[in-house]
């Protein structure tokens, strides 16, 4: 049933991956620039 699916999704919550487009370093949501190379171009993936 869809009720169970919605409960599972609520429990897990949305997961986002922040990754530098230049060097591929994984960043935190609070980072507005790459901590490794300083690039401000950050890719966001919903998984
Ligand atoms: Zn970088």
* Band of pLDDT at residue 18, cut at 50, 70 and 90: very high
In the reported structure, the alpha carbon of residue 23 is separated from the centroid of ligand 1 by a whole-number distance in angstroms of 4
Whole-model pTM over 0.85: no
- Asked if 23 and 29 count as a contact pair (C-beta separation under 8 A), the reply is no
Q: What separation in angstroms does the CA of 2 have from each of 7, 13, 17, 40, 47?
A: 9, 16, 26, 39, 20
Cβ burial of 34 (10 Å; 0-12, 13-18, 19+) is buried
* Band of pLDDT at residue 47, cut at 50, 70 and 90: confident
In the reported structure, the alpha carbon of residue 14 is separated from the centroid of ligand 1 by a whole-number distance in angstroms of 24
| pLDDT tens figures, 23-40 | 999 999 999 999 999 999
In the reported structure, the alpha carbon of residue 12 is separated from the centroid of ligand 1 by a whole-number distance in angstroms of 28
Question: Residue 14: what pLDDT?
Answer: 72
**H or E stretch at 46:** strand 42-46
In the reported structure, the alpha carbon of residue 13 is separated from the centroid of ligand 1 by a whole-number distance in angstroms of 27
For range 15-28, the mean pLDDT: 96
């Amino acid at each position: 049933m869809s009720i169970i699916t919605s409960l599972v999704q609520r429990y897990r919550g949305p997961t986002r991956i922040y990754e530098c487009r230049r060097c591929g370093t994984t960043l935190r949501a609070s980072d507005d620039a790459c901590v490794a190379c300083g690039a401000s171009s950050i890719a966001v993936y919903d998984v």
